[in-house]
C-alpha cells in the first residue's frame, strides 16, 4: 500500500481518482488547491503526488517545486488538459516525473504510477555505476579491461614512441580515432599538431589538394597557394581515416611521402619534406582490397608496420561496465546532470544486445537516456527499443520465473509469440486471444521494436479501422 495525494480543483475528477486508487489498496488524500496541498505538509507523507496544472490560485506548475520540497519522498505526476509542448517542457524542468493528459487513460495512469512507485520504493534504484569524481570522464580517455583492450593499450604504448606508421582496423564506432589520438599523445611529439583527414569525404582532386596542398593556379579555383594537411601535420601526426577509399593516384603519392618523406603539392615543381607521423584507419578489410586490386599491396604493407585491431563491442562485453561508467561521468558533466545509476535490467539488456554500432551506439544511447531521464536512474524505457527487447534480455530482477509479476510475464510472452509468428500480428492475436488494437497497445507499452520486415499488410490496417 502506498500513500497518494491528489491535487485537483475538479471535485469529480478527484473523486474518481481517489476511488480508483483505493480499490487498488492505496491510501489517497485529496487537496483542491496548491495551498491546500502545501498545508498538508508534515501531516501526510505521500509517495506520489498527482497534480493538476490549471487550478484557481496558484497553478500546479507554479507550485510544483515547492510541493516537491514539502514532500521530499514524493514523485510527481502532472495531469493536465493542456498538452502543448511548452507546458510539458516546463513540467519536466520543474521536477515532474511524468506527465499525463486529460481525459485520463487509466491504463496510462497505472503504468505511470507503477513506474513512479518502483522508484519510490527503490526497486529501480539501480547500480551505482559512476560518480562525479570519476577520473575517466575525459573525452580522450579510453577505457576497457577486456583482454583485447589490454592488448590494444599495450600496443599503443609500444608503438607510440617508435614513430612507426600504424594501421588501426575495426568496425565503425569501435574507437579507432581515439586510439590514433592516444598514440599521438603518447608519442614523440605530443605537443605537435594532430591533423585528421577523412579520405572518403572529398572528391579526388579536392582530397589531393587537401592532403598535399597546391600552388596558386594549380587548378581552376586555386586562386591562392595553400598548404595541405601533410604540411600542417609537420612535427605532429597525420591521421588518415577511411584510408581504403584513396584513389590509385593518391595512393602512389602517399606511398612516396611515406618512403621518401617528401611530397609534391599540386602544381609545384619542388618536393617538400615531411616528418609527420602517419596513422591510418579503416573499417574494411584492406587485405581483400589488395586482393581485388583496388589497394596497392606495397602501400598496404607500408601502412601496417604496426597493426592495432579493435574488436567489435559484442566480442568484449566485459568492457561494457567500464564504458558506461566513463561515459556517464562525461555526459553528466557536459549536461550538468547527476544520473549516476543504471537499472540492473538495463545492464542485462546491454549484455544481451549485439551492438552493431559498437561504442558509438552505446554513447549515443546513454546521451539520449541522460538527457531524457526524469530522475537519476537510467531505465529501459529511456533506451532505444531494440536494445531492451530481445527475449533473452527480458528478466524480472534476479527472481525465478515463478515469482515474476504478471507484467513481466506478459511482456516476455507477447514478445515470444511475436517472434514465433515472424511478427505476423494477425496470427499473434489469434494465439494470444486478443484484439489487434490491444496488441498494438502492448507493443507500444512495452516499447518493442517492430522489425522493418514485419508483416504489416493493408489487410491489417483495414482490420484496425474496423476495430
Ligand atoms: N574504449 C573506449 N573508451 C571510451 N570511449 C570510447 C572507447 N571506444 C570508443 N569510444 C567513444 O566512442 C565514440 C566512437 O569512437 P571513434 O570515433 O574513435 O570510433 P571509430 O572507430 O573511429 O568510428 P568510425 O569508423 O565510425 O569512424 C567516440 O565518441 C569515442 O570517444
Ligand atoms: Mg572514426
pLDDT tens digits for 289-312? 999 999 999 999 999 999 999 999
- Residue 187, CA distances (Å) to 163, 237, 356, 426 in order: 7, 9, 32, 61
Summarised one tens digit per residue, pLDDT across range 47-76 is 999 999 999 999 999 999 999 999 988 889
Judge whether 212 and 266 are in contact, CB under 8 Å: yes
Residue 145 or residue 287, greater confidence: 287
User: What is the pLDDT at residue 117?
Assistant: 77
Average pLDDT over residues 173-184: 94
Domains in the chain, ordered, with CATH? 3-123 (3.40.50.2300), 128-137+316-392 (1.10.8.60), 147-314 (3.40.50.300), 401-466 (1.10.10)
Average pLDDT over residues 324-349: 88
Judge whether 257 and 142 are in contact, CB under 8 Å: no
Packing angle, helices 358-372 and 320-335, rounded to 10: 40
User: What is the pLDDT at residue 125?
Assistant: 58
26 CA from centroid of ligand 2 (Å): 54
Whether 326 lines ligand 1, by a CB cut-off of 6 Å, is yes
Cα distance between residue 102 and residue 97, in whole Å? 17
Grid coordinates representing 89 are: 517542457
- Is residue 135 scored above 60 in pLDDT? no
User: What is the pLDDT at residue 179?
Assistant: 93
Return the bridge partners of 273, or none. 262
CA nearest neighbour of 286 among 169, 364, 406: 169
Judge whether 183 and 229 are in contact, CB under 8 Å: no
User: What is the pLDDT at residue 159?
Assistant: 86
Summarised one tens digit per residue, pLDDT across range 1-14 is 889 999 999 999 99
Ligand 1 pocket test, pick from 360, 361, 362 with the greatest ligand atom count within 8 Å of Cβ, gives 360
Ligand 1 pocket test, pick from 134, 322, 359 with the greatest ligand atom count within 8 Å of Cβ, gives 359
E strands, 66-165, in order: 75-80, 98-101, 127-128
183 CA from centroid of ligand 1 (Å): 14
Ligand 1 pocket test, pick from 149, 152, 167, 175 with the greatest ligand atom count within 8 Å of Cβ, gives 175
Average pLDDT over residues 241-259: 95
- Is residue 86 scored above 80 in pLDDT? no
Which range is most confident: 77-91, 152-166, 271-285? 271-285
Q: How many residues does the chain have?
A: 467
Average pLDDT over residues 270-290: 95
310 CA from centroid of ligand 1 (Å): 10
User: What is the pLDDT at residue 165?
Assistant: 95
Which residue has the least CA distance to atom 2 on ligand 1?
Answer: 142
Summarised one tens digit per residue, pLDDT across range 408-453 is 888 889 988 988 888 899 999 999 999 999 999 998 887 776 766 6
Ligand nearest to the CA of 196: 2
Q: By 3-state DSSP, what share of the chain in percent is helix, strand and coil, each rounded to 5?
A: 50, 15, 40
- Residue 421, CA distances (Å) to 209, 349, 417, 435, 440 in order: 56, 23, 6, 16, 15
Secondary structure (DSSP) of 15-76: HHHHHHHHHTT-EEEEESSHHHHHHTBTTB--SEEEEES--SSS-HHHHHHHHHHHSTT-EE
Computed over every residue of the chain, the mean pLDDT equals 86
Grid coordinates representing 358 are: 559498437
Taking the CA of residue 139 as reference, the ligand 1 atom at the shortest distance is: 31
pTM here is 0.69
Query: CB under 8 Å to 335, separation ≥6 — which residues?
Result: 367, 370, 371
Taking the CA of residue 326 as reference, the ligand 1 atom at the shortest distance is: 4
Whether 148 lines ligand 1, by a CB cut-off of 6 Å, is no
Average pLDDT over residues 246-269: 94
Average pLDDT over residues 318-333: 91
Average pLDDT over residues 379-389: 83
Amino acid at each position: 500500500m502506498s500513500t497518494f495525494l491528489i491535487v485537483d480543483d475538479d471535485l469529480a475528477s478527484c473523486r474518481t481518482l481517489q476511488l480508483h486508487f483505493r480499490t487498488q489498496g492505496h491510501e489517497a488524500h485529496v487537496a483542491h488547491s496548491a495551498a491546500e496541498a502545501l498545508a498538508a505538509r508534515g501531516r501526510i507523507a505521500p509517495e506520489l503526488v498527482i497534480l493538476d496544472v490549471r487550478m484557481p490560485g496558484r497553478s500546479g506548475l507554479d507550485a510544483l517545486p515547492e510541493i516537491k520540497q514539502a514532500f521530499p519522498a514524493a514523485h510527481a505526476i502532472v495531469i493536465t488538459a493542456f498538452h502543448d509542448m511548452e507546458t510539458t517542457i516546463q513540467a519536466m524542468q520543474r521536477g515532474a516525473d511524468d506527465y499525463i493528459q486529460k481525459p485520463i487513460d487509466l491504463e496510462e495512469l497505472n503504468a505511470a504510477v507503477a513506474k513512479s512507485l518502483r522508484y519510490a520504493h527503490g526497486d529501480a534504484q539501480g547500480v551505482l555505476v559512476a560518480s562525479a569524481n570519476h577520473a575517466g570522464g575525459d573525452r580522450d580517455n579510453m577505457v576497457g579491461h577486456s583482454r583485447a583492450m589490454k592488448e590494444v593499450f599495450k600496443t599503443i604504448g609500444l608503438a607510440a614512441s617508435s614513430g612507426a606508421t600504424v594501421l588501426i582496423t575495426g568496425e565503425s564506432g569501435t574507437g579507432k580515432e581515439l586510439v590514433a589520438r592516444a598514440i599521438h599523445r603518447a608519442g614523440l611529439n605530443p605537443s605537435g599538431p594532430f591533423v585528421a583527414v577523412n579520405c572518403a569525404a572529398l572528391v579526388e582532386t579536392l582530397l589531393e589538394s587537401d592532403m598535399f596542398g597546391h600552388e596558386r593556379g594549380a587548378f581552376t579555383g586555386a586562386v591562392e597557394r595553400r598548404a595541405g594537411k601533410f604540411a600542417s601535420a609537420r612535427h605532429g601526426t597525420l591521421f588518415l581515416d577511411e584510408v581504403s577509399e584513396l584513389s590509385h593516384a593518391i595512393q602512389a603519392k602517399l606511398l612516396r611521402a611515406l618512403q621518401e618523406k617528401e611530397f609534391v603539392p599540386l602544381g609545384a615543381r619542388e618536393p617538400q619534406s615531411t616528418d609527420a607521423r602517419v596513422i591510418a584507419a579503416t573499417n574494411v578489410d584492406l587485405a581483400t582490397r589488395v586482393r581485388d586490386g583496388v589497394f596497392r599491396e606495397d602501400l598496404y604493407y607500408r601502412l601496417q608496420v604496426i597493426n592495432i585491431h579493435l574488436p567489435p563491442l559484442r566480442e568484449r562485453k566485459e568492457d561494457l561496465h567500464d564504458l558506461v561508467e566513463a561515459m556517464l561521468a562525461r555526459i553528466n558533466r557536459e549536461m550538468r546532470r547527476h544520473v549516476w545509476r543504471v537499472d540492473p535490467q538495463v545492464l542485462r539488456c546491454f549484455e544481451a544486445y549485439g551492438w552493431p554500432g559498437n561504442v558509438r551506439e552505446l554513447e549515443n544511447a546513454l546521451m539520449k537516456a541522460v538527457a531524457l531521464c526524469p530522475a537519476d536512474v537510467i531505465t529501459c524505457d529511456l533506451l532505444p527499443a531494440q536494445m531492451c527487447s530481445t527475449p533473452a534480455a527480458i528478466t524480472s530482477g534476479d527472481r525465478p520465473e515463478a515469482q515474476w509479476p504478471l507484467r513481466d510475464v506478459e511482456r516476455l510472452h507477447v514478445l515470444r509469440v511475436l517472434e514465433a509468428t515472424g511478427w505476423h500480428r494477425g496470427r499473434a492475436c489469434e494465439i494470444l486471444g486478443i484484439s489487434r488494437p490491444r496488441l498494438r497497445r502492448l507493443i507500444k507499452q512495452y516499447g518493442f521494436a517492430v522489425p522493418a520486415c514485419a508483416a504489416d499488410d493493408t489487410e491489417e490496417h483495414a482490420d484496425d479501422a474496423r476495430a
